[in-house]
Structure formats: C-alpha cells, structure tokens
C-alpha cells in the first residue's frame, strides 16, 4: 500500500465528514476567489447534488487530489451526465468540467472575522463589477489582498488589547 501524504489524509477525512454529516467548515487558503472569498475566511459547505446547483453558486469540488471552491458559470452535459463549468472569480480561464462524482457541495456562507456572509440569493451589481475588475487586473487583486491583510491585522490588534487601549486607538483615527 502506497503511503499517503498528511494533506491527502486530511482531505479524505474532511470529505468523509462532509458526506456523512452533510456540512463542513474549513479555512480558505488560496486567492482564486477574491473578492468573494479571501484567504483565512471560514467556508460553510453543505452537501448538495449536482441537480440542485445553479449558475452563480459557489461550489466545492475535488480535482487532481485538490479541493477548489469556485463559482459555477455554466451548466453542461458530458454525455448523459450533467457537469458544471466553474471558474475562480479572480481567474481568466474556466476550470475543467466538474462531474457529479467530483462535486462535494455548495458553499452557503463564510465567516470573515466576526461577520457572517451568506452566498445564496441575488448578487449586488457592485459585487459583479468588482469580480470583473479583479479578473481583468492583477493590481486590483493585490490591493484587495493587502486590504484584507490589514483588516485582519487591525481586527486582531483590537481583540488583543484591553478596552481602554481600544478606545484610545479609535480616538486617534
């Protein structure tokens, strides 16, 4: 039996938890979904069949031994089987088609700091514009990633300091 890497074992266990319980939470690592999902956001994924997925949903799937949380941009058919065409919000090219076997679930919400953001329902026009800008310009992506890093650092500073220090910090702005 071939030895598996710790990452492979971790992904297999998390996949089993999702399939058994129907829900999984994990921390996003990459930047392919900026501005919707930032590195460090905690994603809430619910198990979902391909027939219940729609365009604009953010789905979690596995391809090539890696997990991806990308947006569905088109529904297609591979023979008799439905497949999903996905793409990261910050990426210019589509992913290979996602089959029902590769689909793990739908990302329904994310936690960013203390804030919970739902990813279901209609999307604001400014959000679509920001996604377009990120896809067209790496500079916009870098600015948003730096902003997110500063936001997390500032939020961490506020949590670590006692209330009287927080008040003085806020007064200085």
pLDDT mean for each 10 residues of the chain (173 residues): 76 87 93 95 94 94 93 86 93 95 95 90 87 92 92 71 48 40
Only one residue has tokens 């990426």, namely: 91
Q: Is residue 141 situated within a structural domain?
A: yes
In this structure, is residue 79 part of a structural domain?
A: yes
pTM to 2 decimals? 0.82
Parent domain of 117: 6-171
For the chain, how many structural domains are there in total? 1
Residue 12, in any domain of the structure: yes
The reply to whether 1 falls in a domain is no
**The pLDDT of residue 8:** 82
Question: Which pLDDT score, from 0 to 100, does residue 135 have?
Answer: 93
Rounded to whole angstroms, the Cα distance separating 163 from 173 reads: 16
Give the C-alpha separation, 42 to 105, whole Å. 15
């Amino acid at each position: 039996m071939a030895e598996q890497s710790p990452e492979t074992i971790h992904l297999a266990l998390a996949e089993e938890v999702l399939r058994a319980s129907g829900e999984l939470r994990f921390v996003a690592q990459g930047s392919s979904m900026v501005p919707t999902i930032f590195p460090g956001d905690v994603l809430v994924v619910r198990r979902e069949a391909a027939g219940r997925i729609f365009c604009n949903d953010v789905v979690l799937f596995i391809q090539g031994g890696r997990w991806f949380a990308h947006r569905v941009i088109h529904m297609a058919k591979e023979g008799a089987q439905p497949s999903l065409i996905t793409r990261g919000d910050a990426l210019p090219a589509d992913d290979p088609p996602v089959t029902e076997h590769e689909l793990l679930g739908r990302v329904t919400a994310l936690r960013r700091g203390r804030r919970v953001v739902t990813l279901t329902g209609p999307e604001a026009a400014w959000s679509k514009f920001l996604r377009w800008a990120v896809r067209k310009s790496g500079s916009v992506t870098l600015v948003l990633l730096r902003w997110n890093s500063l936001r997390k650092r500032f939020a961490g500073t506020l949590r670590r300091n006692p209330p009287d220090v927080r008040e003085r910090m806020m007064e200085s702005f």
